[in-house]
Structure 1
Amino acid sequence: MRIGLLGTGPWARAAYAPALAGHPGLHFAGVWGRRPEAAGSLAEEYGVRAYEDVDALLADVDAVAVALPPAVQAQMAGRAARAGRHLLLDKPLALGVAEARGVAEAAERAGVASVVFFTTRFQKEPEAWIDEQAAVAGWFTARAQWLGAVFTADNPFAASPWRREKGALWDVGPHALSVLLPVLGDVRQVLAAAHGPADTVHLVLDHATGASSTLTLSLTAPPAAAGADLELRGDSGVALLPRSSEGAVPALARAADALLTAARTGRPHVCDAGFGLRVTEILAAAEDRLAGAPADQG
């Protein structure tokens, strides 16, 4: 499968480019970016072509990997799907329900495969754990904490405009939901939403299985407190999400495996654009609840 990369930022450089270049089932064909000089630099590093025209790249590939801000991703993913290209996308799929639905519908109409890269879902130990817990009945409640310390001088994502504007709900919220939904079922209702310090938010969710979950999400946690944890409690006791022994690149390679399989078989992956749309709908509902909650005054 010939695949092109859309995007040249820190995530494209740290995860997408090395994962595409190192994957035996992919031919990394080229790079397009909104900054031609950055596209040229990244393309030169991997010995591929830098494209100034995104449509020229789309004409030369079978699939695209998108490492762009969510609002831009939604536009480009829809464009690529309409051109008949398979989609390896990042979370969140978009920053609004209409935009996310546009991507999912474009992929469905074009009959192209799509996979949204929710990192935890493609890491070896967490992926196996999620499958195991999804097969267990009787979960009563879950507690998830996704705490980042992003806006520090040495963090490559500190200057990200969309992260500064939308905060933890839209950046790490998708990660928490991607683990909770396959285990506890779809979210029937956002029961409560409250602001914490800085961009921190607290959510209470009601799930289709009858279980509830609480989420604490932040990009502004103290560095010493940063980390991700998820705990399930139910009839079978307590289960804790295991740490992953690997970073983003091997996980992204597994997401590429999933895209190749979906393209070959025609069977949608569980983390396709439709799942990305559902996560977006839940985040939008939470955002609406937060809009009516008093902001932190600290």
Structure 2
Amino acid sequence: MADTSIDYREDVASGSLAGDVRDYIALLKPRVMSLVVFSGLAGLLVAPGEIHPLLAAVAVLCIAVGSGAAGAINMWYDRDIDAVMSRTQDRPIPAGRVDASEALSFGIALSAGSVMLMGVAVNWVAAALLGGAILFYVFIYTMWLKRSTPQNIVIGGAAGAFPPMIGWAAVTGDVSVASVVLFALIFFWTPPHFWALALYRCGDYAKAGVPMLPVVAGDRETKKQMLIYTVLLLPLGLAPWYLGVAGWIYGLTALAMGLVFLAAAIAVWFDDSDKSAKRMFGFSIFYLFVLFAMLIADRVNGPWM
């Protein structure tokens, strides 16, 4: 009987083995997509005006597909460093389960399709924002900033901050101060979120040659920058309340969550181990989820909030 394991290893080594459905789903970075979709949905729900439920579903679908498409192209471009880093070695391309050219084609097709569908079915302002977010993530962050500057996360974080603006524009057809505030909320949240991860994954980034802030400037400077951004984030989290986009329950929740986030950053500052950084990274995801969940709850419950 022929040794099929040898053939399988050869296929993996050559990158010719076609991936199954799960591998193509993995290319879309579903965990990242879930937060992107949730923030986009929040922007859509809190925007003034009305949108047909079917069009709202199409808009959210386009945000999800566009986010996943950008993730697939990111995995195509970063396949060399993904193969080096222990956190990413089992991704479909470096593991040999999906051919790199197929991943690129997959990402481009989904990008174009999501933008066109958003434009035709919803409006072209939302489509332009979606297209801009994809292009920014692929060309500005992935291909330029990520490998060239320790500020990669700061500037590149703009790509992940677009979804609430896209959701807002899907309803209103424009960009307003309130939607820019939602953008800014994610923009200023991104650095402390990712630097917390980078602190305890510093060796991985150094091995791959990615100039994350802990690699280039050291832990102390990274912790200082995390603290600064967390301080700035505290009043920014209250801005939807100031602007009348959300009610007082949201405001109290945002204040409480912001203070806990700040306490987490202070704990990281005084902790020489990785424990506080890991806790802050986990809490940062919960923090953003709670704020956008409260925005949605405020919209759904109206005067009660």
Q: Structure 2-normalised TM-score?
A: 0.31
Higher strand share: 1
Higher helix share: 2
Larger radius of gyration: 2
